[in-house]
Amino acid sequence: MVATVYADLKTALLISFLRQSIGFGLTLGLWLVYRRWSAAIFRWSDYAMKIAGCCLLAAAADGVLAEILRRLLDIAEPPAAIARGAIVLRLALYVAWSALYFSIRQELESRDSVLRAARNEADQREVESHRLRAQLNPHFLLGSLLTIVQRAESDPPGVRTLAGALADYLRYTLRNGTDFTPLGDELGAMTNYLRAAQINHAALGLAWRIDASDAARAALVPAALVQPLVENAIKYGAITSPVPLRVDITAGTESDTVRLSVENTGTWVPAPSWESEQDVAVGIGLANLRRRLELLYGDDARVDVSDAAGRVRVEVRLPLQSVLVAAR
């Protein structure tokens, strides 16, 4: 066909290059028009006629420019059948290019929408997670401050011990602004928490033990994971346990799972009692922990409660996260 229409190969290559340049310029013009149409409200049924009109104009402009180019280069006029076929082919190419453009744009917009929705959900989960964490500390802080006020004159050494343990615990909670932290750091904070609790609840004769493997201490867990469990153990153990109240914290790893348990003497207090005004703070603490684990792990985390032989045991199982620190 090249030999029939054009005088020589050089002319054929030149005219082909110029035609492709015209096509590129016209598709660039179509893009400038199409990009003004909002992707958020784009519907094929609403814009089909507009797209067809743009493609017809582009094909007409292509034909006019090609004819001007042919005359400027003094190239022989092609047969009528070839000229008509070229117009139809160019129109088909602009329609195909437009369809491809909008298909790709819709796919990218769809992916962006999914990504934006995922980011929005992640932001909402993070906000909710921080909100839930923020509800955990005020109950303990208020009790400690009341104890300090009540014993300031009668038990200065105890107040100094309580104030020091409380300060160390609060320093940890204020410093730890991330969602995840090594379990060893959590258990270290619980040491100060339990020291303060011993003074806050002196009448309970509170005794406690923390036993965790090196691997468990090095594993990443959600921040403020242990505190609501210990707070529940003390709160409800004070109601149901004989003196002394004992709280045992154990942690270990098993395959790809971290297992943490908080056990106290006493019996399990049924859930409905959490709805009373007196116990609502602690009930929120455990409910918040379950919600946080659901936000962070979905169905991969478990919280199991058992009550037997005068002891209540709450066990948390989490996926084993990356180890960030050396075993301590």
State the virtual CA torsion across 27, 32, 38, 44 in degrees, nearest 10: -20
Q: Are residues 195 and 116 in the same domain?
A: no
The residue from 130, 160, 186 where one domain ends is 130
Model-level pTM?
A: 0.55
Q: Are residues 118 and 265 in the same domain?
A: no
Is 328 within a domain? no
Confidence at residue 41, expressed as pLDDT on a 0 to 100 scale:
65
Confidence at residue 249, expressed as pLDDT on a 0 to 100 scale:
97
| Pairing, β 311-319 against β 302-308 | antiparallel
Confidence at residue 138, expressed as pLDDT on a 0 to 100 scale:
64
Q: Are residues 251 and 270 in the same domain?
A: yes
Which pair of structure tokens corresponds to residue 299?
């169905």
Gap between the terminal Cα atoms of the chain: 81
Q: Are residues 216 and 278 in the same domain?
A: yes
E strand or H helix that includes residue 320: none
The size of the chain, in residues, is 328
Confidence at residue 7, expressed as pLDDT on a 0 to 100 scale:
53
Segments forming the whole domain that contains residue 23: 2-130
Is 207 within a domain? yes
The residue from 130, 163, 178 where one domain ends is 130
Structural domain count of the chain: 2
Q: Are residues 189 and 285 in the same domain?
A: yes
Q: Are residues 156 and 185 in the same domain?
A: yes
- CA-wise closest residue to 40 among 110, 100, 98: 110
Confidence at residue 271, expressed as pLDDT on a 0 to 100 scale:
57
Distance CA(222)–CA(204), nearest Å, equals 30
Is 326 within a domain? no
Q: Is there a contact between 219 and 186 (Cβ–Cβ < 8 Å)?
A: no
Distance CA(279)–CA(240), nearest Å, equals 14
CATH number at residue 154: 3.30.565.10
The residue from 63, 96, 130 where one domain ends is 130
Q: Are residues 228 and 291 in the same domain?
A: yes
Query: In degrees rounded to 5, what are phi and psi of residue 19?
Result: -65, -40
Q: Is there a contact between 76 and 5 (Cβ–Cβ < 8 Å)?
A: yes
Q: Are residues 20 and 151 in the same domain?
A: no
Q: Are residues 125 and 89 in the same domain?
A: yes
Distance CA(70)–CA(74), nearest Å, equals 6
Confidence at residue 279, expressed as pLDDT on a 0 to 100 scale:
44
Confidence at residue 135, expressed as pLDDT on a 0 to 100 scale:
52
Per-residue pLDDT of the chain (328 residues; tens, 9 = 90+): 333 445 566 666 777 777 788 888 888 888 888 888 876 566 777 778 888 888 888 888 888 887 787 777 777 677 777 777 777 888 888 888 888 888 888 788 778 777 777 666 665 666 555 555 555 556 667 777 787 887 777 778 878 888 888 888 777 777 765 678 899 999 998 998 898 888 878 888 999 999 999 999 999 998 888 888 998 898 888 889 999 999 999 999 988 899 999 999 999 876 554 444 444 444 456 677 788 788 788 888 888 889 888 999 999 999 997 444 333 3
Q: Are residues 158 and 246 in the same domain?
A: yes
Is 325 within a domain? no
Q: Are residues 123 and 139 in the same domain?
A: no
Distance CA(182)–CA(162), nearest Å, equals 25
